[in-house]
Amino acid sequence: MHHLKIVAVILAMVAPAMAARPANAAQANVAVAANFTDAANEIQAVFARSTGHEAVLSFGATGQFYTQISQGAPFDVFLAADDERPALAVSEGYGVDGTVFTYAIGQLVLYSADASGVVGTETLRAGAFQKLAIANPSTAPYGRAAVEAMKALGAFDSLETKIVHGQSIAQAFQFVETGNAELGFVALGQVSQMGSGSRWIVPQEYYGPIKQDAVLLKGGEDNEAAIAFLEFLKSEEATAIIRKFGYEAGL
C-alpha cells in the first residue's frame, strides 16, 4: 500500500513534465568539443525554439569523446574540434557515412586574464611568466595547434618546462582564469564575448587549420532530433551564431 502511494506521488510529479513536451519532439545527445561550449549553448536554445526538439549537450575533449564513442557511449551527434576523429568514426563504423561536414573553423588565441598580459609574439619570446596553459595536445586539437604555433615561432624549446596541460581546452582556460597560469592558448570562441583580459589572435600561418567537423553517429541514425540538429547547424541562423563567437562558418 505504502509503495503504491510513493509511486502515485512520483507519477503525479513527473506526469506534467512529460505532458509538457510536444508529441512530435525528440531528444538528441550531442557530444560537443569543449571549445565550442558557448556557441553550442546558444545554438541549442535557438534550435529548441525553432524545432521543438531537444539537444542534450555534453562537453569535453575531442579525443576523450572519441574513446567513449568507440566504447558505445550513447551519443547521437559528435561535434569534434578536428576533422580527423569524425572521419575516423565513419571508417571505424561508429559514424554514418556521408554525414560529415565542417561546421566551424577555429582560431587559436594566446590569452591572459590580465589586461596587459598579452601583447603578441614578443610575450612568448620574452617568457616573463611561470606557467602557460594549453589543452592536452594528444587529446585536444587546440592543444596540438598550440604546440605547432610555438614550434613555428621557435619558442617551444624555451617554453616547454612552463607548459601545463588541461584535460580539455575548458580546463586550460580555467587555469588562466583562476590565475594559476598567467597565459594560455585557448580558442577564440571561448574569449570572444569577454570584455576583460588581453589576447593575441595567433595568425593562421603558424598552425594547421582547426577544421571542426560534425558527424551523425550510428546511435542517432534514426533519431529525428539528431538529424534536425545537424541540419540546423548548417542554417543561416546557426552559422551567424558560430561566426559571432569567432569561428569561420558557412563556407
Q: Identify the residue among 136, 198, 212, 223 touching another protein (CB under 8 A).
A: 136
From CA 182, how far away is CA 197, in angstroms rounded?
Answer: 11
List helix spans (H) across the chain. Answer: 2-20, 37-51, 62-70, 84-91, 121-126, 141-152, 156-159, 169-177, 188-191, 224-233, 236-244
Residue 142: CB minimum distance to another protein, A: 15
Q: Would you give the binding string for another protein spanning residues 12-41, x where CB under 8 A is met?
A: ------------------------------
Residue 141: CB minimum distance to another protein, A: 13
Length of the chain: 251
Residue 39: CB minimum distance to another protein, A: 24
- Taking a C-beta distance cutoff of 8 angstroms, is the pair 62, 141 a contact? yes
CB atoms within 10 A of CB 16: 8
Q: How many residues bind another protein, per CB under 8 A?
A: 23
Residues 79-118 within binding reach of another protein (CB under 8 A): none
Place of cell 613555428: 152
Residues 38-67 within binding reach of another protein (CB under 8 A): 61, 63-64, 66-67
List helix spans (H) across 52-168. Answer: 62-70, 84-91, 121-126, 141-152, 156-159
Asked if 186 is part of the footprint of another protein (rule: CB under 8 A), the reply reads no
Radius of gyration of the chain (CA): 20
- The DSSP symbol for 182 reads S
Residue 68: CB minimum distance to another protein, A: 9
Asked if 178 is part of the footprint of another protein (rule: CB under 8 A), the reply reads yes
Asked if 227 is part of the footprint of another protein (rule: CB under 8 A), the reply reads no
User: Toward another protein, which CB reaches closer, 217 or 249?
Assistant: 217
User: Toward another protein, which CB reaches closer, 113 or 228?
Assistant: 113
Query: In the structure grid, which three cell numbers stand for residue 217, read together?
Result: 553517429
From CA 61, how far away is CA 73, in angstroms rounded?
Answer: 14
Residues that bind another protein (CB under 8 A): 61, 63-64, 66-67, 70, 130-131, 133, 136, 138-139, 163-167, 175, 178-182
